[in-house]
Structure 1
Amino acid sequence: MQKQIRCAIYTRKSCEEGLEQKFNSLDAQRIAGESYVSSQQLKGWVAIEKKYDDGGYSGGNLERPGLKELFQDIEAGKIDLVVVYKIDRLSRSLLDFARIVDFFDKHKVTFVSVTESFNTADSVGRLMLNIILSFAQYERELASERIRDKVAASRKKGMWMGSRVPLGYDVKEKKLVINEKEAELVKHIFESFVELKSITAITKKLNKEGYQTKEGKEFKKGTVRGILTNATYIGFVKHKGRLYKGQHEAIVDDELWNKAKENIETRRHIAAKREPALLKGLIRCYACDASMQATHAKKKNKEYRYYVCGKHLKGRECSGKEHTIAAGEIEQLILEQIPIILNNETLMKEAFGEVNEFICETLQGIVSIWESIFPIEKQNIVKLLIKRIWLKENGLKVEISSNGLKSLVEKYEATNNPIEARGKDIEVFAQYQLKKCIGKSMVLVQEGKNHKKTNSILLKSLVRAHLWQQELNEGKYTNIKEICSVNKIACPKYVSSILQLNFLAPEIKEVILEGKQPSHVRLNNFLGTKMSLLWEEQLNVFYRQEHH
C-alpha cells in the first residue's frame, strides 16, 4: 500500500486590505494549493483540513501566528509536506528561509511551490530556491536604500516626511501648519522651563493644570524633555544629527530657545559632576511596580539625595505610602546587607546548588575584608549581585542573582576554577521600620537581624494554581490539555500537580505568601503523590524539623 503524504497548505497576505471579503487572497491561495495536491493523488498526497493562514503579516520575519502553528504541528509529526502558492509567501528573507529549510530537514518535511514548480526534495530545487531568494533579498534591500535616499534628500530640503506630528502642529497637504491652541501650550512649556529650570517641576505643573499631550495623555518627563529639545519649534528639521531649514513656520523664537537650551546644558553639566546613584535601575516601588528615580534637592546650600517613586515623581497616583526615601540611608543599608548575605550558608547553598571548600573560603574572604574594600569596588559588587530591590512598607525585598554570585567567586577565587551553574536566584527580605523625617524623606531604621526569604518557585506555583483553577471555573479552559497548549507546557501531569496546591491547608498558603515558610520546604514536597490531602498531615510535613 502506498504511503500517504500529509500536505499542509500555508497562505499569507502582507496587508489586511480585502481580508474582510467573503472570498479573499488567502482563499485563492488555498484553492490553488488544494488543486495542486489533488493533481498528485497518485503519489499519495492528501491535503489536511487545518488552515495555516497569516492575513496582514509581513514575510520579512517569522513572527506570524499561522506559521508558528505550522511549526508546532511539524514538530508533533502531523505534517509531511508544506505547499505554498509562491515561495515568498513563506519568507522574504534569505536568512529566515534558510532557517525554515533547516527546520524542515530536521523533521523530514519537504516544501513545494505551486506556481514556481520547486520541490525541496531534490538538490536542484534547493539550488534554484536559494538563487531566487537571493535576488528577492537584493531587490528588497535596494528598494530600502532608495527610500532612505529619498527621505534624506527631502529632509535636506526641509520637508516633513510623515513622522510623528509634534505638539503645536497639524498636517495639511503633507506639510506642517501651526495649531494655534497647541502652539500656545508649547510656548507655555518653554517659558515655564526658563522660569523654573526643572523638567520635573514643569511636568507636575502641566498635569496639575490639566494639560494633555497631542495624544490626549498626561505629560511625562521624557515628553517634556523631547519638546524642549525639538528643533522643529524653531523652524528646522533634523536628519542624522544635522539640522536643515524647514519649510514650516517656527513656534518658538531664537531668544526663548537659547535660554531653554542654556538651562538644559547647565543641568547636564551638574548631573555629570554628581556621582552616579548606587541603586539606579535596581530599586523599585513595590506598590505600583515603578522604578524609583534618583533625584536631588538643595536646601540652605546643601544638596540632599533621594530615591522617588517614578509615578509619584510624574504627578501620577501611587497606592504606596513610601514615595520618597533618603538615598544615603538606603544605600548604606544595602552595603551592610551584602556581607550578611554572603555569610548565610543556607542562602549560598540555594544559590550555588552546593557550596564546596573553595567557594566557602572565597566568600568568607570577601566578608572578612568587606570594610576595607574601596567604595568603587563595593559599587561594582552591588551591581553584579543585585537584580532588583523592592521598597515595601515594612522593609526591603532584595533579589540576588545566582550568576552574579558565581561571577563574584570566580573573580576573587585564586585558582580560577570554573563553577558549575546548578543553583538559582534567591530573595532576601530585610525587615526595617520606616519613619518620616523632614516631611517627605523616608529614613530606614533597622528592626533586627532576622532575615526572611521568599521561595519564589513555591510562591509562583501557588499563584499559578489559584489562577488556573479560577480560569477553569470561569470556562476559559475546559481541561488541563488546553492549559498546557496556551502556556506551552509539555507535561499535563505537571499542571495537574500544580492544581493540587489549591488543596493546601489555609495556614500553609498564608505562611508561603508571607515568605515565612521553614527553610527546608520545597515545591517538590507537595507535587504528585507526595502530597496528602489531609491538612493535619500537610502541616506535619510543612513544620517538620530540618534535620529529619
Structure 2
Amino acid sequence: MSKQKVAIYTRVSTHHQVDKDSLEFQEKELKNYSEYLLGIKDYEVFSDAGYSGKNTKRPGYQEMMNRIEGGEFTHLLVWKIDRISRNLIDFAQMYEDLKGYDVTFVSKNEQFDTSSAMGEAMLKIILVFAELERNLASERVTSIMLDRAQKGLWNGAPTPLGYNYDKETQKLTINKKESEHIKFIFDQYEEHHSTGDVKHQLEIADIKTKRGGSWTTKTIGQILRNPIYKGTYRYNYKKAGRGEIKDKEEWIIVDDCFPAIIDEDQWEKVNKMLDENYAGQVSNRRRAKNVHVFSGIIECPHCDINYIASPGTARKDGFKPSIYKCRNYSVSKAEYSDCPTNNFISEVNLGPFILNYISNLVKVQQLIINQRISKDKAEELLIQERYFKEVVGIESKGLTTTYNAIYNNGSEELFKKPQNNNKVTDLQLKQLKKKKEKQEKALSRLEDLYLYSEEAMAKKDYLIKQKQIKDKIKNINSKISERHSNISGSQSIVNFEFIKKASRFLISQELIDQQTINYRKLISNIDKQLIKDFVQSVVRKLVIDEKKVLELEFINGLKHKFIWEDGAKGLKGRM
C-alpha cells in the first residue's frame, strides 16, 4: 500500500473570527483528527485567511489542489464543508476532481468520510442539490431566452450577416448593404445549384464575410440553411462546442420574429434544392468504390489543414488515380484559391515516392545491423532511385535518431515495445484533459449567465472572469503539452515496430528483393484497401508543398524531413 498523506485545509473569511473558528483552532483540531482518527501522521496544512468561500480563487486552496493533482496526497481533511466552498457547484466540481485523483474527502464537523459507504452517501445527497441547482439555472435561462425570442429580442451570439444589433432595443435591424449580399447568395445558389459556384461568384464580386474574411462552402451552406433570413428565430438548435444538431424536440422556433430578408417561398425552394443535392452526394458516396491510399494523412504547411482526396480522370485501362489537394485549393478554379501555392498532388507521383522510401528504409535497417554501414551511406541508400533524384538529403535530426537507434540497439531491442511505467503521468494527463473540459463548460455557463441571466452581470466583471477561465485553459494546455513531452521523453528505446510491419508486407508481396517498387503494377495486382491499410499503419503524416514531400512522420512519431535541391520541380510526370 502506498504511503498516505493528508492535505489539511483551513479558512476564515476575516482575520477576526471567534476563537472556535480561528485558523489556529481548526489546524490543531484537524491535526489531532488526522493522527488519532485517521491514523496518518504525515500531513501538510494549507490556509487562507480573509478569503470568502463564495469561489475558489484563494492562493492556499489553489496550491493545495495543484499538489493534489500531482499525486502528493491521499486525503483532504477540512473542519467543515463550507471551509472549502459555499458554492455547491464549485464543491461538486472539486469532488469530481478528487475522485479522479483517488483522494478521500473528510469533513470533521459533518462527520463523514468518503472512504466509507455512509460518508459517500451523505456527500451524494449534497451533490444531488448541486445538480438540482444547475438544472434549475438551466431551466431559468431557457425560459428567459424563449421569452426574449418571442418578444423579438436577440439572444446573443454574433450578429448574422445582413443584420445589425441595436443595443438599446436588443433587436435585430436589417443592414441594407449586407442584406443585398444575402439576396445575392440565395439568387446565385438558385441559379447554379452549387455552394462552390456561389463561393466563386462572391469572390468575383469581391464580397467579403461579415468580418472581412474569405468564404467557404460551409459558411455559405449555413447561411442558406438559416431560417433567420425568412424572419424565423431558431434557438437551442446545436450543442455548444462541437456544434452537433440537437433533437428537434429541443429546438425553440419563433416565426415572424425578425425582419425577413428573403421571402419564404425562395427560402423553401433553396432548402429543397440543398436537400436534393445532399441526397445525391450521399448516394454517390455510397456507390463510390475509390480507395484513397493517402487520405487523411497529407497536410498543407501553409493552411495547417489536411488535403482532401478525390478520384482523378480515368486512364485508358480504367485506372483512376487519386488526386490529393489542399482543402483551400480548387483545381479547376485556381485563381480563387485561399492556399497561396495551390497545393495538389497525384497518387501516380506520390505513391512511388512513399512506397520506395519505406522499402529503402527496410533494406537500410538490415545493412546497418549486419554490415554496420555509416550514417552517410545509409542516407545515400535511403534516397537512391529515380523518384528521389531532386532530393539532396535528409535533415540530420531524424536521420541521426533513426541510425543511432538501429546501430546501438540491434534488431532484438529495436523492435521491443517500450514499456511505459509512468502510470502516474498517464493518470495526470487524463485528469488534465478532464479539467480542461470542465473549464470549457464553465466558460460556456459564464457566457449564458452574462447574456441571459435575470441578475445582470457588469461587462467588466464578465470580461475579468472570462479572462481568468481562459488563462486556466491556457495553463492546462501548457501542462498537457508538458505531460506529452515527459511521456515521450521517458521512452528510452525508439519503437520501430512499423519497420517490421513494412518488412512483412514487402516480403508477402515478393517486393523485398526488388530494386524498385512499381507502384502502378502493385495497385493493379493487390487490393488497394490492403495497400492503404499498410501505408496508414506505417505513416502518420505527410507534409507536402508544391508537389514536394517536405516531411514524412512515421507512426512512432519519428520525422524524416527531405531537403530538395534549389528549383526542384517536385514529384511530376506520369507512371
- Of 102, 121, 135, 1:141 maps to 135
Paired amino acid for 1:379: K
Structure 1 93/207 Cα, relative in aligned 2: closer, same or farther at 3 Å? Answer: farther
Residue of structure 2 in register with 1:390 after alignment: 543
Paired amino acid for 2:83: Y
User: How far did residue 189 of structure 1 move?
Assistant: 1.8
Residue of structure 2 in register with 1:307 after alignment: 324
Residue of structure 1 in register with 2:527 after alignment: 374
Residue of structure 1 in register with 2:232 after alignment: 236
Q: What is the distance in 1 between the residues matched to 2:298 and 2:256?
A: 43
Verify the 8 A CA contact 1:285 1:291 in the aligned structure 2. yes
Alignment partner of 1:70: what SS? helix
User: How far did residue 226 of structure 1 move?
Assistant: 0.9
Residue of structure 1 in register with 2:188 after alignment: 192
Q: What is the distance in 2 between the residues matched to 1:391 and 1:357?
A: 22
The structure with the greater share of residues assigned to strand is: 1
1:399 aligns with 2:553: yes
Residue of structure 2 in register with 1:420 after alignment: none
Q: What is the distance in 2 between the residues matched to 1:56 and 1:224?
A: 45
Paired amino acid for 2:557: D
Write the deviation string for residues 469-510 of structure 1: whole angstroms up to 9, x where unpaired.
xxxxxxxxxxxxxxxxxxxxxxxxxxxxxxxxxxxxxxxxxx
- Of 551, 557, 562, 1:425 maps to 557
Residue of structure 1 in register with 2:307 after alignment: 292
Superposition pairs of residues 357-372 of structure 1, within 5 angstroms: 362-368=504-510, 371=523, 372=525
1:282 aligns with 2:297: yes
Q: What is the distance in 2 between the residues matched to 1:357 and 1:310?
A: 31
- Of 307, 329, 342, 2:348 maps to 329
User: How far did residue 170 of structure 1 move?
Assistant: 3.5
Residue of structure 2 in register with 1:505 after alignment: none
Verify the 8 A CA contact 1:432 1:446 in the aligned structure 2. no
Residue of structure 1 in register with 2:24 after alignment: 38
My pick for the range that moved more, 123-132 or 284-293, is 123-132
Q: What is the distance in 2 between the residues matched to 1:90 and 1:67?
A: 16
Structure 1 365/181 Cα, relative in aligned 2: closer, same or farther at 3 Å? Answer: same
Structure 1 354/188 Cα, relative in aligned 2: closer, same or farther at 3 Å? Answer: closer
Paired amino acid for 1:70: M
User: How far did residue 212 of structure 1 move?
Assistant: 3.7
Verify the 8 A CA contact 1:112 1:120 in the aligned structure 2. yes
Superposition pairs of residues 356-505 of structure 1, within 5 angstroms: 362-368=504-510, 371=523, 372-393=525-546, 394-401=548-555, 424-428=556-560, 444-445=572-573
Paired residues, number: 388
Residue of structure 2 in register with 1:253 after alignment: 263
User: How far did residue 126 of structure 1 move?
Assistant: 5.4
Alignment partner of 2:572: what SS? strand
Residue of structure 1 in register with 2:161 after alignment: 167
Q: What is the distance in 2 between the residues matched to 1:209 and 1:140?
A: 49
Structure 1 118/258 Cα, relative in aligned 2: closer, same or farther at 3 Å? Answer: same
Structure 1 49/92 Cα, relative in aligned 2: closer, same or farther at 3 Å? Answer: closer
Superposition pairs of residues 179-218 of structure 1, within 5 angstroms: 179-206=175-202, 209-218=205-214
1:128 aligns with 2:126: no
Q: Percent identity?
A: 20
Structure 1 376/126 Cα, relative in aligned 2: closer, same or farther at 3 Å? Answer: closer
Structure 1 255/425 Cα, relative in aligned 2: closer, same or farther at 3 Å? Answer: same
User: How far did residue 227 of structure 1 move?
Assistant: 0.6
Residue of structure 2 in register with 1:461 after alignment: none
Residue of structure 1 in register with 2:487 after alignment: none
Verify the 8 A CA contact 1:343 1:363 in the aligned structure 2. no
Bigger relative contact order (CA 8 A; separation at least 6): 2
Alignment partner of 1:250: what SS? coil
Q: What is the distance in 1 between the residues matched to 2:573 and 2:18?
A: 72
User: How far did residue 154 of structure 1 move?
Assistant: 8.3
User: How far did residue 284 of structure 1 move?
Assistant: 1.2
User: How far did residue 374 of structure 1 move?
Assistant: 1.5
Q: What is the distance in 2 between the residues matched to 1:52 and 1:390?
A: 55
Q: What is the distance in 2 between the residues matched to 1:192 and 1:163?
A: 27
Q: Which runs of 5+ in 2 are unaligned?
A: 32-43, 238-246, 315-319, 366-401, 418-494, 512-521
Q: What is the distance in 1 between the residues matched to 2:255 and 2:211?
A: 27
With structure 2 as the length reference, what TM-score do the two structures score? 0.51
User: How far did residue 225 of structure 1 move?
Assistant: 1.9
Structure 1 260/356 Cα, relative in aligned 2: closer, same or farther at 3 Å? Answer: closer
Structure 1 266/309 Cα, relative in aligned 2: closer, same or farther at 3 Å? Answer: same
Q: What is the distance in 2 between the residues matched to 1:428 and 1:257?
A: 52
1:340 aligns with 2:494: no
Paired amino acid for 2:180: E
